[in-house]
Amino acid sequence: MSEDVLDAVARALRLADDERTYLFDLARSARRPNRRPPSRRRDVEVPPRVQWLLDSMTTSSAFVRNGRTDIVAGNPPARALFAPMYDSATVDGRGRPNIARYVFLDRGAHDFFVDRDAACAATAALLRAEVGREPADRALRVLVGELSMLSPEFRGHWAARDVLIHHDGVKLLRHPDVGRLELTFQSLELPLPGRAVHELITYTAEPGTASEDRLELLAIRAASPSRSAQESSEPPPAPRP
């Protein structure tokens, strides 16, 4: 099917931008050689320059996420903000959290996300879009199969067949250390080598709000872990005579 026909179909169905992109991704996948077995797609290493960029963001939480929702790189504020996710039992052998596994399979997600149902819907839609781009990705199929078996909520959202390409908006979190946070998040696609999709996700707070103060507190704690550890190991000062 030509792109002109696809464009006409998209206009006739009044598809949103994400739905239109998904339609074109499906068509491109269908034009690839058929009947190939699922492949083990090689993970693309995040270049040092991207990690330098992340580390330069000292007051905002920033991380890189691949299409399977693995967090493959992040800055210290991101590790502090998403500490429950990094500490989750769903983290892989390399210490990388997978957002989908945390959202659907970890009980802690019920407390961490104020609107967990919205987080579930968005996460399932992100995976649906990735399946449209990479239907032969073996690791992606394993992830979707695992979530389908273990999470009735995922099965429900997956059946809705929603897709999400661009991810931005407001997120309400309940952090165990600083309390409630209202943060604005934005995703930007990173042009890395290979066909794998990677996005830079940033979380910031509105200036002058309590959420900004709490996010800054997390950033300060993340910036001085060695000092905190040293202070905790030092004996308390002797009482004055």
CA-closest candidate to residue 104, choices 94, 112, 93, 96: 112
Give the tens place of pLDDT for each residue, 185-215.
999 998 877 667 799 999 999 999 999 999 9
pLDDT at 23 over 80: no
Label residue 191 exposed, middle or buried (CB < 10 Å: 0-12, 13-18, 19+). Answer: exposed
Is 216 or 226 the better-scoring residue by pLDDT?
216
pLDDT in tens, 90-123: 888 778 999 999 999 999 999 999 999 999 999 9
**Residue 222 in contact with residue 77, Cβ under 8 Å?**
yes
pLDDT band per the 50, 70, 90 thresholds, residue 65: very high
Residue 32 gets which letter from DSSP?
S
Mean pLDDT of the chain: 82
Task: State mean pLDDT over 51-59.
Answer: 94
Q: Name the DSSP letter for residue 2.
A: -
Q: What is the pLDDT of residue 215?
A: 96
Q: Pick from 64, 71, 190, 195: which is nearest to 133 by CA?
A: 195
Residue 22: band (very low, low, confident or very high) from pLDDT cuts 50, 70, 90: very low
| Structural domain boundaries in the chain | 16-30+41-224
**Which one, of 66, 206, 35, 61, lies nearest residue 133 by Cα?**
66
Of 40-49, 154-163, 212-221, the range with the highest mean pLDDT is: 212-221
> Which residues are bridge partners to 187 per DSSP?
201
- For 143-187, the pLDDT digits (tens) are 999 999 999 999 999 998 888 777 789 999 999 999 999 999 999
Reply yes or no on whether the pLDDT at 63 is more than 80.
yes
Residue 5 confidence (pLDDT): 45
Residue 21 has pLDDT above 60, yes or no: no
User: For residue 10, what is the DSSP state?
Assistant: H
Span 16-30+41-224 CATH architecture: 2-Layer Sandwich (3.30)
